[in-house]
Each structure stands twice: as structure tokens, then as C-alpha cells.
Chains A and B, each alone.
Chain A
Amino acid sequence: MPSVDTEKPLESLENTKTHPLLPFLQQQSATSLTRLYQSPSSCLSIFRLLAPVERQIVMNILWLESAMSPSTMAAWVTVDGKKLYERSLETLSSLHILQQYPIKLLLNSTFKASLRHAITGGGKTGSFGVPVARDPKHAPPSISVLDGYALERWETILHYMVSSGTGQYPSKPSTGVLYLLKESGLMSGHFQSAEPVITSEGFQFLLQSPHEQLWELLLQYLQMVERRSMDLMEVISFLLMLSTMELGREYSTEQLSQTQKAMLDDLRDYGLIWQRRSSTKRFSPTRLATTLTSSSEASLPTPPGASTGTGAAADGSVTAAGGGGGPGSATGLNAPIPSPSRGLGSGSQQGFIILETNYRVYAYTDNPLQTAVLNLFVSLKYRFPNLVVGSITRESVKRALSNGISAEQIISYLVTHAHPQMRKFNPMIPVTVQDQIRLWELEKNRMKSDGGFLYTSFQSQADYEYVLNYAKELGVVLWENSAKRCFFAQEEGHNNIKSFIERRSGTAGKI
């Protein structure tokens, strides 16, 4: 909860997470970024991804025609905010949004023009997608259809990952997705020959929030696009355009470039867009796409258009009840979809895990994916139609740790998916359980190995101390025992110590 903390007034501002796309953009050249900034929708989306202070700096100089001197702007900055302000300027400058920093504060002229167009509603046609008129033959897909589709696609990918190597073979995602999963190192194995197996990165990936998962995959996609020699900026620009589109509306593919048309197939596989047939000239973005640049924390709902989100969720519950809890419709309720408005609609449905101080876990879910993810670190005992019971044991946590999952990830997963009843407690997760999970992780790290050399057989105590002091100055001594006149030093210092000993006597020490 971003409440105001009186002791550290800027804490809430400083703790804002950098969006994963921004570091990727920072690596791009100024010319390609400027090309990206030609589209108002891209500028608007990137503007949204910035931190609050960065956004304010951009807005402050957006409407100015001439450059502002940094000292004028710095006069507005509070003493506490100085560091934050300078860091923000550097981020903006590395994104090439600010030009000629630190001599003066001036927005990139392309960025300035595009963002002005975005905010005042001018600019070239079609930057925010070209909606098409209603198709007389087919009604446009309803929002619940879109949600269901996106969810089904996304869960297929995750479920495939989580059940790989367990001997079960759920429905496979398309080859494009499989290729991406392997390229990203989330799964390993020889393509097409053997079944790919999930890696430790893959396990970590599963415990992230859907929003982070989506962006991690998309970033991998962007890197793959570079290798496929597609135009990277057009790809990013299309993704950002999708994020500004309206849910439940159909858009035309006519204005898209060749690259962007090629992307439609991939994005359909990931569940970002919906098309009736792959040949149709129209597509609808799903909630996964339209919330790409929303904040990842679904803490405060009721965004514009929330009422439609609520409606969709209500639809979902009706279908679930009517369909007797069929797997497709019922999962729609529990599964987190990266959308704040969804959070509003099914606010109480979001969390489903109850964890007791006796390490027992009760998960109110019938979603096979959520059960499978829980199975990563919980030893499951019973399954009921809407409830899974298990307990966190040393073995189950050890298994997770050996898969590369960290204790923090387990705890944060439990926190994010905690049942509303759990949220009344403070702290939410029982301290005993939290500490025990951390202790189990520490157990794994009991031993630390260091390569090095043991120096023994010093002829006199003086010799020993003399060499030991030298080694201590180098900072490489790991263990010493003056009674036995020996010490152990790291590998890096060996050559120095060796020559030191040789220089001193030639025969004084044996190594």
C-alpha cells in the first residue's frame, strides 16, 4: 500500500520498480529510438512506463519551445529529492528522451512532437490502431470470449512448462512458443527430438506475477526478432500500439507493415490478440495486450473502463455456474490475469491460499495450473473439487530449492496469492513458516568452497608470522593455525606468496 511514510518521505517514489522494457530500450541506438518515437502511441506507452518523477520532468518541459537550463529546473527539486531527480534525468537521457543533457534540458524533438500529438489528439492517422466497422456476418467477440481465449492460451504455455518432465503431456503450445521457451532458457532440451524440460529459470519464471511473466517472454521475443532480422522498432511499436487499444473492439490489419502482419501469428499464439481466422483482415486485442503498459501491481483498481471489466468477470461466474464448473470456464475466475480491472471484478477471488502456522496449506482452487505450481514447493495431500490441501515440508522445500527456486520467491508467491482471510493478519504469512523456509534455504548454503593452497612446514614461528602477515595484507587468508604453523590462502594470492617466500629464503617454506 503506497501510504505516506513520515520517516522516509521519498520511499514510495524510490521503490518504484523499473519496467523490464526500459533497460532493453536503453541499449538501443539513438537513431532507432527516434524512429520508435515517431509514433504517438509508442511515446504515450513509454511515457507510462516511466517512474512518477521522470514523468513529471517530461511533462514540465513538454510544452516549452526552448530548452530549459538545468539550474532552473533544479531549483524546484527538494533537498531529499536531489538524488532521485538526478537519477531520473540520467534514465531519461539514456532513453534519448532528453537531449544534450547535462548541458540543458531539452526533449528529443521527435518525442516531444509525438507526445504532444498523443495528448492533444492530433498526429498521423492510425497510430492508435484503425478500428473497423462492424462485420455484418459475425458479431465482434465479447469481452468474456477474449478473456477466455487469452487465459486459455497463456495457461497452456505455463501448464506445459510446469508439467514437463513429470510424464504428463498436456496440450502443447505451438512450435513458435516452444522455440521461444527454449531460446529464452526457460526450458532446455533438443528441439523436436526430445521433450524439452523446464530449467531452474523456468521454475523461477512460474512464480512471478503474470505481468512480469508476459514481459519476460516478450523481451525474449524481441531478442529473437533481432536475430530473425525483423525490424525491431516496428515490432516494439506494434506492441506498444496494442497496449493503447481498446478491449472488445476490432481493428484493421490493412495499415500494418509487413513485419507487423507477420507478428500477428506469434501474438495469436501467446494470446495477445484474437482473430476469427488467420486470414481475416481484422483482429481484436485481448486483455493481455491492452494492459501491457498498465502498472504491474493490481493494487488499486477502478481504472477507466473498469465497469466493463466487472461485467466480464460477472459473465465468467455465470458461465462457470451454468457449465457445472467445466475446466475452461471455471479457471477464468481464479487465474490472475494481469489486469487491475479484473482485480476489481473478482477482488475476493484473487487470493486462494491459506497457510497455517503448522505448515498446512489450503488452496481453494480447481485450476490445474495453480495446483501444479503449488506442487513445486508443497507436498500435496488431498484434492477436493474446489480445494487442495497439502503441507510445506523440509523435503518439498528442498526439492524446490534444488530446482533453483529461492525462499524469497516461495514467500512472495504465498503473499501475492494469499486468501482474503489471510490478509487480515499481520504479518500475513506466519513468521514461523517464513523463518523456517529461509532456514531451509540457509541449510543448503552451509558449505562454501574456495580454491586455494595450504602453506605448511615453516621452519620458525617468525618465518610463519612474517609470511602470514604478508598474505593478510593481500587479504587472501581464509584459515590459519599458528600452533601447527600453517595457513590456507585463496588461489589468487598464490603466485605472490610463492615469490615472496622464494625471495625471502628460497628454502624457508615448502609449498
Chain B
Amino acid sequence: MSSLLCVVIDLSIEQWHSSTDFSVSDLFTHLIPFLNAHVAASNDNQLAVFAALPGTSQLLYSSTDDQSQSLASGHNSYPQFQVLDETVVNRVIIHLDTLPDQDHQAPCSLVGALTKALCFINRLTLDHNANTSNAEGLEPIALPDPRILILSVSPDITSSYIPIMNSIFSAQKLKVTIDACQLFGTDSVFLQQAAHLTGGSYLHLEHREALLQYLTMTFLPSPSVRKAIAVPTQDKVDFRAACFCHKNIIDIGFVCSVCLSTSARVFYLSHQIPDENSPASECVTSSGAAQGRVLD
């Protein structure tokens, strides 16, 4: 039984600089055996690694890549592992080196990476359906157990609330499980919700030196295995939403009854409520909410 895993690594330069006890190289020391373990479990297991860099997102590795490039001295390890490890590390170095200096402070493009991961899964699902002669007429069959693991270090960027929520809904539709791990920093509200809504697991890392053990026990089992061996789940989920007007996370807000957009302040809604003659479906609560009909 195969399983598809997409890993999204948050490589926010600002955040990693501020971390004193845990460096990027520590992360990869723990992450690479984890990736290998996923590939090791079955020949059919697929893997893609995405990096969320400041201002941009990149695909670091995917198991559908052409891997014909030969590696000369590779006889101490399984060839697939070697290709995987070298590709991931080399591409991280290349992407970090070529990053323009002014971008270092830019917010991390987590949404970009997440969307790319969803597109990747969607593409494989379509391929899979085309190959199993399910191409025409029938309901597309979802891939077994696709999932996304987000390794995040940045705090929530409240302006990306709507795109993240949209990604979550796409994930639900594709039957993708989203797992999230906050390596350090404050708890992420959005990732908690992402994990909760897609049946995944959210973890705030406490003992960073045991990252590999956390990854193995919590995120390695595929959703079907989790039915037999449980993984940690959240006992409480922060369900707060970001308001559409100021992009702040709010405890109490106003919700438009037509488009369900959330707002911190009431007057944004009141002065633009459509009059009785116009159709109710055209909601113009505020300019921000016009594109934000996330809860259809």
C-alpha cells in the first residue's frame, strides 16, 4: 500500500537567525532520516519536498523527477536515499545563496509552498486516474493516503488567512491530511486549524533534540496506520479567525450573513449593506471581503 507525502519546510531566514539552540543544519540532520524512512517503507511510496523561502517557494525534490543522474561513489547507501539526500541539501543551498538580499526580511511564502504541494498531489491523482483507465466518465479516485507535513518556524502571517483557509478547503476536497509541526516560536493558529479540519496532527515541539523521534512517531504513520497506532492530537484548537478588514486575529467579530466574511468593526458592514432590490447573492460588505468568500 503506497503513500504520498509532501513536506513543506519553512526556511524563513529571519526566524532561523533568531533561534539560538536549533539551526537549519540540525533540522536537516533530523529530517533526512525521516524522509529516508518514508521512502524505505515501500517502493511505491512517493515523496515531494517543498521549501517556503522568504518571498518565494521552491520544489526541492520529488520522487517523480528523473533520477537517472549517476552518483559515482554510491555504494554505502541505498541509491534512492543518496539521490534524495543530495538533491534536497544541494537545492536548499542553491536557493538560499541565490536569494536576493532585500528579500531576507520578506515574509515566508508558506501559502505558495502549500499550494504547490496541493497541485503536486492533484497532478498525481489525475495521472493515477488516467492510468487506471478511469479517465472518462467516472468520479476521480483519490490517491490513497496523501498528506502534507508543514514544518513551520514563523508566526502566523495574518494577511494569508484567506489563502490558507482556501488551501485547507482544497485539501479537504482532495482528501489530503495536513500535519503541522511548529518547531519553535508561538503556536500557529492557522496550522492548528489546518490540521484539525483535515484530520491531521498538530505538534508544538518541546524537545527539539528529539525531533526525529517526534517526526517518526507522529508524522511517519500514514492515515490508515494511524487507525491502529494513534498519533498525538490536539486537545484544544485555537479556532479564531482573522478579520477581513485589518487582517488581525480576533476573538469576537461581526459576520456577514450573506458571504460569511468576518469583520472586526461593525461599520464596514453597515454602510454597504445591499438594498432590498439588489440580489442577495451580490454581497459587497467590503472590498476585502469581495474575493473572500471562503465558506461557500
Contacts and interface: CB of A to CB of B under 8 A. Distances in A.
A131 B74 CA distance: 8
B238 interface: no
B41 A55 contact: yes
A128 B76 contact: yes
A181 to B, nearest CB: 28
Contact of A125 (B76, B142, B143, B225): B76
Interface string B91-121: 0000000000000000000000000000000
A122 B66 CA distance: 25
Contacts of A120: 32-33, 36
Given A295-B2, A305-B67, A424-B133, A41 B228 contact: no
B100 to A, nearest CB: 33
A53 interface: yes
B131 interface: yes
Interface residues of A, number: 71
A128 to B, nearest CB: 6
A423 B136 CA distance: 12
Interface stretch (A3-11, A158-166, A228-236, A494-502): A3-11
Given A41-B78, A84-B228, A48 B41 contact: yes
Interface in A79-121: 80-81, 84-85, 118-121
Secondary structure of the B side of the interface? loop
A41 B77 CA distance: 8
Contacts of A474: none
Nearest to A134: B70
Contacts of A63: 33, 212-213, 216
A60 B216 contact: yes
Given A295-B43, A302-B64, A340-B43, A118 B229 contact: no
Contacts, number: 185
B43 A420 contact: no
A13 interface: yes
B43 A294 contact: yes
Contact of A77 (B79, B144, B230): B230
B277 interface: no
Interface string B60-98: 000111111010001111111111010000000000000
A291 interface: yes
A452 interface: no
Contact of A10 (B39, B217, B227): B227
Given A77-B229, A424-B138, A128 B63 contact: no
A41 B80 CA distance: 13
Nearest to A77: B229
A2 interface: yes
B221 A56 contact: yes
Interface in B1-57: 1-2, 32-33, 36-37, 39-46
Given A52-B222, A118-B78, A295 B42 contact: yes
Contact of A300 (B44, B64, B213, B228): B44
Contacts of A118: 40, 77-78
Interface string A236-252: 00000000111001000
A306 interface: yes
A123 interface: yes
B138 A81 contact: no
B220 A59 contact: yes
B141 interface: yes
Contacts of A131: 74-75
Secondary structure of the A side of the interface? loop
B128 interface: yes
Contacts of A246: 79
A340 B42 CA distance: 12
B206 interface: no
B257 interface: no
Contact of A121 (B82, B133, B222, B225): B82
A81 B67 contact: no
A78 B75 contact: no
Contacts of A124: 76
A52 B81 contact: no
B44 A294 contact: yes
B228 A77 contact: yes
Contact of A48 (B40, B81, B133): B40
B186 interface: no
B213 A64 contact: yes
Contacts of B80: 304-305
Contacts of B40: 44, 47-48, 118-119
Contacts of B221: 52, 56
Interface string A1-34: 1111000011011001000000000000000000
A301 interface: yes
B44 A13 contact: no
Interface string B120-164: 000010011001111001100111110000000000000000000
B227 A78 contact: yes
Q: Which 5 A-B pairs have the closest CB atoms?
A: A81-B228, A121-B77, A420-B133, A294-B43, A347-B131
12 contacts: A3-B144, A10-B228, A48-B43, A53-B228, A62-B216, A295-B1, A295-B2, A301-B128, A302-B127, A307-B65, A308-B68, A423-B134
Given A52-B225, A62-B216, A78-B227, 7 more contacts: A57-B229, A63-B212, A81-B227, A302-B64, A303-B63, A420-B133, A423-B132
